[in-house]
C-alpha cells in the first residue's frame, strides 16, 4: 500500500521521535538536578509523548504491511547554558520535527499515497500545538529572567502537566 521510500521515511521518523524523547529526558534531568522538579516533570511528560509518537508510526507501518526497521539514534546534548537555552532548544527541535513530518507528507502527496497523508494529518495538527506550546514557554521563561519567585511559580505551573495516552492510529 505504501512505497519503499515512504516506508523508509516513516522508519526514520520513528528514530526522530525517539531522539526527541531522549533529548527531552536529558532536559528533564538538567532541571531535576537544579531542583526545578516541575519543569523536569514537564520535559519527562514531553519525552513520553515523543515515545508515543514513535509508536504510532510503528503501528502504522505494521498496519500497512511494511517492515519496521528500528534505527540507532545519536546521543542528545546534556549540557545547557541556562533555563532559556533549554526552552529555546526545545522550540528549535520541534521546528525540525515539523519539517521532517512535512517532508513525508509532501512525498506522500506526490505519490498520491492518501493513506499516509491521512495518517500524517494527526502529526501535522500535533506539531501546530507543539510549536505553540514551546513558543509560549520560551516567552514565559524570558519574562521570568532572574526572578527566583517567578521561577518558582513557573516551576509549580509545569508540575501540573500529566501524560495522557492518545489512542493508537488504528
Q: Least separation, in Å, of the C-beta of 32 and ligand FEO?
A: 20
Q: Which one of 10, 14, 20, 66 is in contact with ligand FEO (CB under 6 A)?
A: 20
Positive or negative torsion for Cα 6, 9, 11, 16: negative
Dihedral angle at the C-alpha atoms of 7, 62, 94, 18, nearest 10 degrees? -110
Nearer to ligand FEO, 58 or 151 (CB): 58
Element (H, E) at 144: helix 114-144
Nearer to ligand FEO, 45 or 84 (CB): 45
**Shortest reach from residue 24's CB to ligand FEO, in Å:** 8
* For ligand FEO, the closer CB: 20 or 151: 20
17 binds ligand FEO (CB under 6 A): yes
Q: What angle do CA 113, 119, 124 make, to 5 degrees?
A: 110
CA–CA–CA angle 107, 61, 112 (5° rounding): 30
Gap between the Cα atoms of 23 and 77, Å rounded: 7
Burial of 44 (0-12, 13-18, 19+ CB in 10 A): buried
Q: Decide: is 94 part of the binding site for ligand FEO (CB under 6 A).
A: yes
When asked if residue 88 is in the footprint of ligand FEO (CB under 6 A), the reply is: no
Tell me the per-residue interface mask from 50 to 69 with ligand FEO, x by CB under 6 A, - otherwise: x--x----------------
Site residues (vs ligand FEO, CB under 6 A): 17, 20, 50, 53, 94, 97, 130
Amino acid at each position: 500500500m505504501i512505497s519503499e521510500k515512504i516506508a523508509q521515511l516513516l522508519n526514520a521518523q520513528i528514530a526522530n521521535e525517539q531522539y526527541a524523547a531522549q533529548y527531552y529526558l536529558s532536559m528533564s534531568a538538567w532541571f531535576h538536578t537544579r531542583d526545578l522538579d516541575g519543569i523536569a516533570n514537564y520535559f519527562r511528560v514531553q519525552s513520553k509523548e515523543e515515545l508515543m509518537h514513535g509508536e504510532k508510526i510503528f503501528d502504522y507501518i505494521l498496519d500497512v504491511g511494511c517492515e519496521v526497521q528500528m534505527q540507532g539514534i545519536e546521543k542528545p546534548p546534556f549540557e545547557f547554558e541556562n533555563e532559556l537555552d533549554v526552552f529555546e532548544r526545545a522550540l528549535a527541535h520541534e521546528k525540525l520535527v515539523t519539517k521532517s513530518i512535512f517532508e513525508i507528507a509532501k512525498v506522500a502527496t506526490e505519490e498520491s499515497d492518501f493513506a499516509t497523508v491521512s495518517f500524517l494529518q494527526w502529526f501535522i495538527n500535533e506539531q501546530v500545538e507543539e510549536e505553540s506550546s514551546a513558543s509560549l514557554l520560551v516567552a514565559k521563561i524570558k519574562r521570568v529572567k532572574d526572578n527566583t519567585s517567578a521561577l518558582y511559580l513557573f516551576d509549580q505551573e509545569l508540575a501540573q502537566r500529566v501524560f495522557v495516552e492518545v489512542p493508537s492510529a488504528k
